[in-house]
Amino acid sequence: MTRTAPASPINRAARIPTKTLRQWLRDMLLIREFEVRCMQAYQNKKIGGFCHVYIGQEAVAVGCTAAVRPDDPIITAYRCHGHALARGMKSKYCMAELFGRIGGCAKGKGGSMHMFDKTRHFYGGHGIVGAQCPLGTGLAFATKYIDEVIEGGQSGKVTLCFMGDGALNQGSFHEAMNLAGILDLPIIFICENNGYSMGTAISRGTTMGHEITSKAAGYGMESAVINGMDALSVFNGMKPLADRCRETSRPVFVDMRTYRFKGHSMSDPRKYRTKEEEQKHEADDPIDRLAAQLINDQGMSKEEYDELIKDVRNEVREAMEWADASPPPPLEELYTDVYVETWGPYKGTSPPMMFLEEQAEAEAQKSGAKRRP
Ligand SMILES: Cc1ncc(C[n+]2csc(CCOP(=O)(O)OP(=O)(O)O)c2C)c(N)n1
Ligand SMILES: [Mg+2]
C-alpha cells in the first residue's frame, strides 16, 4: 500500500528555537532506542505478552505532545511506549513495566499495552481497539465540567485522544465523536493512520479509507490531514488546532498520515506488504528528517548529533539494568488495584514506586529551594 502524505512546507524550523528542536530530536531518538532495545529484550524473553513498538511513528507523539500543555490530558491505544516517553515518563519506569516488574509505572501488572502516568496527565495505554475514545471523551467532559461548573470559569484544557486507523470502524469511536460534537467537548481525536489494522490495509477494511476526514464531517467537526512523518509538520499542524480547540471548546479530528516500520506486534511476519513498500517509507525516516533539518539549517554539528545518540543509548541501557534489578510484583499484588474497596475517589492500595520517588524528588527540590537565600 503506497500513499502520499502532504508535502512539508519548506523550512518553517526558523520559528521554533533550536533548543526545542534539539529536544524533540532527543525525544524521538530516545523512543527509537527504547523500542529497538525493547524488541531485543522481547526476543530474549525478558518481556512477555503482547508488545507493539512505535518505530517510524515517533514524530507523531513528540510533535503532538509539544503542541499542548503538560497538564492537557493524553490517552492512547496499546502502541503506547512512545506517547508515555514523549509525555515525560522516565524510561526506567516504562521499561520496568514492560519487564513486568514492581518498579513499572503500573507495578508491572499492566505490561506493554498499559503505560499510565497520572502525575503527567497520561491516562494510558488501552488494549481494546477504540476503548480509549469514550474514555478520552470522558476526560474532556471532566476538564470542561471542572473548569466551567466547579471553578465557574472557562473551559481551558485540550484532551488528545490517539487511536489507530483500526478504531475507525468501532462503534465506540462513533459514539465518542457524536458525544464530543453534541456536548462541545475540547478534544482532538488523532487517528495515527499507518495504513494497516494488523494485516488489513485501510482500503480493504474501511469505507472512505482514502479520505477518513469524511467521518468527521458527519459529526460537524473540523478536521485536518497532517504529515506524521515530519515533526515540524505535526507541530505546525497541531498547534493552531489545539489553540482553537482550547478557545472554542469544539472537537477536532486529525488524519495523521504515518507508517509503522515494524510489524503490528512482535509476532507479525509482515506478509501482507512488500519489501519495496517498506523500504520506500523507511527512506522517509522522521528522525533522519529532523536531524537533517537541524544539521543543515540550524547549525547542529555531526559531533553534537553523535553525542545525542550516545546519551540516549546510555539512558536506555541504564533503564534496562534498573528494570532487570527490580523484583517481580509479590503475589499479594494480584488482589490489589482490581476493584474499588470503598466508594469515593479511588486511591489505589499502594502507589507505584514511580509516583513515590517523583513525589519525594519534588519535595526535596522544594525544600532545597526554600533553604537557598
Ligand atoms: C475490540 C477489539 N477487537 C480486536 C482486537 C485485536 N486487535 C488488536 S490490534 C488490532 C488492529 C488495530 O489496528 P490499528 O487501530 O490501525 O492500530 P495500529 O496497530 O496500526 O497502531 C486488532 C484488530 C482488539 N484488541 N480489540
Ligand atoms: Mg493502523
Helix (H) or strand (E) holding 126: none
Q: pLDDT tens digits, residue range 244-262?
A: 999 999 999 999 999 999 9
State the Cα–Cα distance between residues 196 and 272, nearest whole angstrom: 10
**Does CATH number 3.40.50.150 belong to domain 14-367?**
no
* Helix ranges (DSSP H) in the chain: 18-43, 58-66, 81-87, 91-98, 132-145, 171-182, 202-205, 214-217, 231-248, 275-282, 286-297, 302-325, 353-371
Region 33-51: mean pLDDT is 97
The number of the ligand 1 atom at minimal distance from the alpha carbon of 264 is 19
Given a cut of 70, whether residue 297 has pLDDT beyond it is yes
Contact between residue 28 and residue 59 where contact means Cβ atoms under 8 Å apart = yes
- Which residue type does 224 have? A
Ligand nearest to the CA of 54: 1
pLDDT(6) > 90: no
Q: Would you say the CB of residue 128 lies under 6 angstroms from ligand 1? A: yes
> Given this model, what pLDDT does residue 351 score?
85
For ligand 1, is residue 164 a contact (CB within 6 Å)? yes
Q: Which residue owns the Cα nearest ligand 1 atom 6?
A: 129
Strand, helix or coil for residue 366: helix
Report whether residue 60 contacts ligand 1, using a CB cutoff of 6 Å: no
DSSP H/E element including 256: strand 252-257
DSSP code at position 102 = T
Confidence bin at 302 (pLDDT 50/70/90) = very high
Report whether pLDDT(61) > 90: yes
CA distance 141 to 185: 6
Angle between helices 286-297 and 18-43 (to 10 degrees): 150
pLDDT at 15: 82
166 close to ligand 1 (CB < 6 Angstrom): yes
Averaged pLDDT for residues 323-332? 95
Question: What is the reported pLDDT for 329?
Answer: 96
**Distance from first CA to last CA of the chain, Å, rounded?**
63
Residue 142 burial (CB < 10 Å; 0-12/13-18/19+)?
middle
Identify which of 129, 133, 169, 255 to mutate to test ligand 1's pocket (most ligand atoms within 8 A of the CB). Answer: 129
Span from the CA of 259 to the centroid of ligand 2 (angstroms) = 8
The answer to whether 16 touches 292, Cβ cutoff 8 Å, is no
Mutation pick for ligand 1 pocket among 55, 189, 196, 197 (CB with most ligand atoms within 8 Å): 197
Is the distance from CB of 36 to CB of 54 less than 8 angstroms?
Answer: no
The number of angstroms, rounded, from the C-alpha of 190 to the middle of its chain's C-alpha atoms is 10
- Cα(60)–Cα(334) distance, integer angstroms: 35
For residue 348, what pLDDT is reported?
A: 61
Whether 161 is in the pocket of ligand 1, judged by its Cβ within 6 Å, is: no
CB within 8 A of 327, min separation 6: which ones? 101, 102
Point out the ligand nearest to the CA of residue 195.
2
pLDDT (0 to 100) of residue 337: 81
What percent of the chain is modeled with pLDDT above 90?
Answer: 88
Q: What is the pLDDT of residue 202?
A: 98
78 C-alpha to ligand 1 centroid (Å): 8
Query: Out of 81-85, 100-104, 334-338, which region has the weakest mean confidence (pLDDT)?
Result: 334-338
φ, ψ dihedrals at 226, nearest 5°: -130, 145
Distance CA 173, CA 43 (A): 34
Task: Give the closest residue (by CA) to ligand 1 atom 8.
Answer: 129
pLDDT classification of 332: cutoffs 50, 70, 90: confident
Asked whether 165 lines ligand 1 (CB < 6 A), one says yes
Given a cut of 70, whether residue 14 has pLDDT beyond it is no
Closest ligand 1 atom to 163 CA = 15
Ion ligand 2: protein residues whose beta carbon lies under 5 Å:
164-165, 194, 196
Helix (H, G, I), strand (E, B) or coil at 160: strand
For residue 239 the three cell numbers come to 498547534
DSSP characters for 211-223? -TTHHHHTTT-EE
Residues 191-207 have pLDDT tens digits of 999 999 999 999 999 99
131 pLDDT higher than 90: yes
Is the pLDDT score of 4 beyond 60?
no
- Judged against a pLDDT cut of 70, whether residue 96 lies above it is answered with yes
